[in-house]
A and B are shown apart, each in its own frame.
Chain A
């Protein structure tokens, strides 16, 4: 019963405030003018002190983007986005290159406090010597709007040869690695939003795990969209060399406001022989108010390439925020016996729209993939699973198992499943299951009979429905995720 008690505690600890993280930190900002053109891209590139090849790469992406059309196939509906009405660069004003954490703006530290970053991490961010906390588990690379302003644990990581830094720093400090891998998983002209990101990305994380190294701690980035009208375009690149292992955590909250904000990130993962990458996300951006006003547009391209034999990439995501989610973390399974996993919980309430899923492209012999997707719709929301499993002729003895379950709460929402299954190898096996149901009356009755309020009962049942996915999350995230589920579904019953 421990799990149940824990769930109840979390449900109770959540206030009735709806979106409680809707505050805005005022820090002086440095804006580029609104709009997008080659000059803005040159400006971003020069502000980031990038080498010439990077600028060319960006311009190539921009040229490709100009020729592309915004995709219309997703089941999402929004007013047209004016790409010229956005700031593409905003940097907090501060002294050059934060070498020590004392230089971090106190406002920023307060913000982390409000975000509920664990105490020990806050202490670290406040300037505790990293060497005295060697046994701590998490390294934080805080992305505050467009420039990473605080990076901890560098010393410990450096000792094991791990590179964990803002991508702009990596472009300067490790150009060969970046040049080799950036755009190799998600090409510049892959899709409309990826092309846009490639042209204007301002920050994100870079991770390099050398051969045979098991990353000594979980790597974590807290993203936060802060300035008004700045789209945020992160670029994350994680490279795991042969035999290495890394677990990367990404969590998001955003200030509450009226205007819709565009977010188009690109995440690229590369796993070589026997390497393992676990990428976990808790996404809780501002979803808009109860009438569907405001909220973040989240158009993300995430893709991992299992290049090496026996390599493994695992995506786990809990998506509760954003007005619109357009996100398909995918795996290209090139290596023999490589493994791809996708565990997802997507919750939509009020007028949220989520169109999310995965792609598993099997190329290598004996490659395996598992897809577990749980969609929960409430209010007037629409929640779509869209996935592709493709077995190429070379994928001898490949396997896939897919399970998509949808839960509907209320009769004004929609739950949709759009899986694509393509096989060109007879020895490959694909199994797909999908179900749609509602919270059964007898389940609710059972909980209510034992004195739970209807809302608590729903929280409990939903957590049970999502258990298969939540158990894949690292400890730190599992607790936050359970809270988020309850917050997201507040007011959806009764």
Chain B
């Protein structure tokens, strides 16, 4: 047997000593992974954080990391409609300088300068342990104090049936500004299991846009740890369109007073897709604020999951936390599961969450139909209006247009 957790562990043992970076950290992660296994896979105990998502299909898949036909990367990349900005391209988990347009400064790759960071929890998160065990490459971006680094695209292309574990590190020094546009796509039955660590220093501003448009047969797991210092902002938006099964987990710690985070997302699913958006926002300093708008549009037999937790520590007085979660079920076979959670230990706080689940408004449909708009089109108009609210959170018009195009393309694919 070389599938499931055993397969990954065997591979790790085979590679022993040949992977970059701290080998003690890797072996500790391997030990943790050996104990935990894959959530929903072979392990016996149920993990609350994985209540609605089982990685059994990942455990059952037979990944062959070395069999990928590399020549297809260019084809996939050509279809991606990239922005006119620097881009760092990883194909099957490895940096491809020939396909990249490197940012002028502040870039290093994990293979040369391995940086596992300090925020991740391989001992508590099985997929982070797996990444720590097998990570070979990734991007390390560093923006010096007071510098505006503009837009950098971080592109992942996978073209085979392998498993890839990129490890990214993004550090913004005091007062720095950066916009990351992370795009992942591919062809095949691969697993992309990314871990990213983000540090936003005092007064720095990071905009993080993610477009997940993986192959319909692929698995996508992404875990992001972010730390935001005094007066810093981490402004993120995630659009999940692709993959057979995806899990996007974001853990943000607001560690300095007045820090701010936006964790907005939209998931648009059809067929038998499963997408899980899980977030934990830790308010660990006074006067911080967090904002979240998460929308799910679910067609076919798809299943959307949203788990959002806001933790307010005793010290975090004057916290302002808000979370809105809405789901639209377009088919009688679709399913939404959500768990918005508040954990509050400070008394002078303003925290609220709201959640709604339902179908398209019958009156609105009637309004459009009575004006001669066909059913399919009327539905499409209303769904787009529903999504617009989430997409509006993306301030940069060029990037927003790019995301809107992705939604259009998704819509066209459904019609076909």
Contact = CB atoms under 8 A, between A and B. Distances in A.
B341 A417 contact: yes
Given A422-B337, A423-B335, A410 B357 contact: no
A409 B346 CA distance: 9
B352 A434 contact: yes
B347 interface: yes
Contact of A431 (B344, B346, B356): B356
Nearest to A396: B332
Contacts of A433: 352-354
Given A421-B355, A433-B354, A438-B349, A408 B336 contact: no
Interface string B337-366: 111111111111111111111110000000
A391 B356 CA distance: 13
Contacts of B349: 408, 436-438
B330 A426 contact: yes
Contacts of A428: 357-358
A432 B355 contact: yes
A435 B352 contact: yes
B335 A422 contact: yes
Contacts of A120: none
A437 to B, nearest CB: 6
B347 A430 contact: no
Interface string A409-445: 1111111111111111111111111111110000000
Contacts of A435: 351-352
Main secondary structure of the interface of B (DSSP, over half): strand
Contacts of A391: 357
Contacts of A438: 347-349
A406 interface: yes
A426 B331 CA distance: 6
A431 B330 CA distance: 17
Interface in A363-407: 391, 393, 406
A256 B330 CA distance: 56
A417 B340 CA distance: 8
A113 B348 CA distance: 42
B358 A421 contact: no
Contacts of B359: 426-427
Contacts of A414: 343-345
Max chain A Cβ within 10 angstroms of own Cβ: one of B48, B347, B349, B356: B347
B289 to A, nearest CB: 14
Interface in B219-237: none
A73 interface: yes
Contacts of B342: 406, 415-417, 434, 436
Contacts of B355: 419, 421, 430-432
A393 B337 CA distance: 13
A352 to B, nearest CB: 15
Given A408-B344, A408-B347, A426-B331, A418 B352 contact: no
Interface in B354-412: 354-359
Nearest to B348: A438
17 contacts: A411-B317, A411-B347, A414-B344, A421-B357, A422-B338, A423-B357, A425-B329, A425-B332, A426-B330, A426-B332, A429-B358, A430-B356, A433-B354, A434-B352, A434-B354, A436-B350, A438-B348
Interface of B: 48, 314, 317, 327, 329-359
